[in-house]
Copies of this chain bind each other. A is one copy, B any other.
Amino acid sequence: MDPSYRVRNSSALPSPALLVYPEKIRNNTALALAIAGNPERLWPHIKTHKTQEITAIQREAGIRKFKCATMAEAEMLARCGVKVVLLAYQPVGPNIPRLVELCQRYAEVSFLVIADDRRIAAELSEQFSRAGGRIEVLLDIDPGMGRTGVAPDEKAVELYLELGKLKGIVAGGLHCFDGHNNQEDPEARMSAARECLAALDLLQDRVQRRGGKVPRRILGGTSTFPCYAKLGNVELSPGTCFLQDWHNLKRYQDLPFQPAALLFARVVSKPASGRVTVDAGCKAIASDPPAERGIVYSDEGFKPLFQSEEHWVFEVQDSQRFKVGDELYILPTHICPTFALHQSVRVVDASGDWVDSWPVLARDREL
């Protein structure tokens, strides 16, 4: 492990604790901006960190527009001064009036939302127009991932044109997340992205030939935003790369973002020779995706055996080099749900001192 990750005043730091390194977040942000070419194209997805202070780092770099997934994240962004907020989640049930209320409360903020369902569009229309407001709605397109959205076919053209006719709604363009385009080979990924964009181009053509307007297209996550950045007139919404994690680090060797968040842990037991148990359980590090949940970044030779809620048991060849109380640094496989497990993150400055704590505010679903 690069020694710049080590905390100098660690003895006062209770474990488990999630560490963040603002200098490294700044570097990752600069790299994301260089890839995007222009801050106006970039919508960082803040589900990754849910944190006002990291949003501030991204804004200091010139980023104005942010994407989020929950009502609480949208509210957090508005609360910390962001003026353009995309809620990339179709609201249902009481989240529709909550969204109307949020837009009224933060009238200076431009909120955008996605939809893929005729009935939800009609409800948005009815509730926003009744409240005397309006909201920009992006049609959510399914690029073959099969999670949300409509296929970019004739029905999508009809639905998009319908959006444009509804009161209280502005048809704001297309949203498309292609999480299945996670090919390790950059060429294969580029080719998949090209195909996805071609389908959107075609859809846009058909909409425009019938008089519709497509003001913007917001596309891709960390794996494909560099592809779309090269391919053309689209806006980009990476998330994970600002903090970087083990999954992306090992998978996308063409994207040199550096880890900017680590889990700090200690050995809490050595139940047998060759075995070390650490105070990092599944309540401190995400267990999604399945399989390997992170790697011990500070030390070699740790093979995970099993994890409980507050324990992680490893096989370690020469376990005698560790004693109970020893410190470890773990790189999480998936940093986004890991952040949501912590009430706050500990801030480590460039000299290696733990100097502050930042609340992971939007892990709460109601602020």
| Residues on A facing B (Cβ under 8 Å) | 11-16, 47, 69-71, 89-90, 92-95, 98, 116-117, 119-120, 140, 142, 146-151, 179, 266-272, 275, 277, 279, 282-283, 286-288, 290-291, 305-311, 313, 323-325, 327, 336-337, 340-344, 363-366
Check B272–A94 contact: CB distance below 8 A: no
Check B89–A268 contact: CB distance below 8 A: yes
Check A148–B269 contact: CB distance below 8 A: yes
Check B117–A270 contact: CB distance below 8 A: yes
- A291 vs B289: C-alpha distance in the bound complex, in angstroms? 10
CB distance from A36 to the nearest CB of B (A): 23
With a CB–CB cut-off of 8 A, which chain B residues contact A179?
A: 308
A119-B325, A366-B343 are known contacts. Are A147 and B311 too (CB-CB below 8 A)?
Answer: yes
Check A98–B309 contact: CB distance below 8 A: no
A92-B324, A286-B282, A290-B287 are known contacts. Are A271 and B119 too (CB-CB below 8 A)?
Answer: no
Check A340–B11 contact: CB distance below 8 A: no
With a CB–CB cut-off of 8 A, which chain B residues contact A291?
A: 290
Check B148–A309 contact: CB distance below 8 A: no
CB distance from A286 to the nearest CB of B (A): 7
With a CB–CB cut-off of 8 A, which chain B residues contact A313?
A: 146-147
Q: Chain B: which residue is nearest A342 at the CB level? A: B365
Q: Chain B: which residue is nearest A146 at the CB level? A: B271
The 5 A-B pairs with the shortest beta carbon distances in the complex, nearest first, are A148-B269, A282-B288, A287-B288, A117-B324, A343-B364
A12-B94, A147-B269, A310-B47 are known contacts. Are A283 and B337 too (CB-CB below 8 A)?
Answer: yes
With a CB–CB cut-off of 8 A, which chain B residues contact A282?
A: 286-288, 337
A14-B98, A366-B343 are known contacts. Are A149 and B269 too (CB-CB below 8 A)?
Answer: yes
- A306 vs B182: C-alpha distance in the bound complex, in angstroms? 15
CB distance from A28 to the nearest CB of B (A): 20
Check B283–A142 contact: CB distance below 8 A: no
Check A325–B290 contact: CB distance below 8 A: no
- A291 vs B150: C-alpha distance in the bound complex, in angstroms? 28
With a CB–CB cut-off of 8 A, which chain B residues contact A290?
A: 287, 290-291
Q: Chain B: which residue is nearest A343 at the CB level? A: B364
Check A93–B336 contact: CB distance below 8 A: no
Check A150–B271 contact: CB distance below 8 A: yes
Check A14–B147 contact: CB distance below 8 A: no
CB distance from A289 to the nearest CB of B (A): 8
Check A142–B271 contact: CB distance below 8 A: yes
Check B146–A275 contact: CB distance below 8 A: yes
With a CB–CB cut-off of 8 A, which chain B residues contact A336?
A: 309
With a CB–CB cut-off of 8 A, which chain B residues contact A94?
A: 11-14
Check A277–B148 contact: CB distance below 8 A: yes
With a CB–CB cut-off of 8 A, which chain B residues contact A307?
A: 288
Picked from B267, B269, B337, B366, the residue with its CB within 8 Å of the CB of A309 is: B337
Supply 11 further A-B pairs (C-beta < 8 A) apart from A116-B271, A147-B269.
A11-B93, A14-B71, A14-B93, A14-B98, A69-B309, A89-B268, A92-B324, A93-B325, A142-B272, A282-B286, A286-B287
Check B14–A89 contact: CB distance below 8 A: no
With a CB–CB cut-off of 8 A, which chain B residues contact A270?
A: 117
With a CB–CB cut-off of 8 A, which chain B residues contact A271?
A: 116, 142, 146-150
Check B269–A90 contact: CB distance below 8 A: yes
- A120 vs B324: C-alpha distance in the bound complex, in angstroms? 8
With a CB–CB cut-off of 8 A, which chain B residues contact A324?
A: 90, 92, 117, 119-120
Check B47–A309 contact: CB distance below 8 A: yes
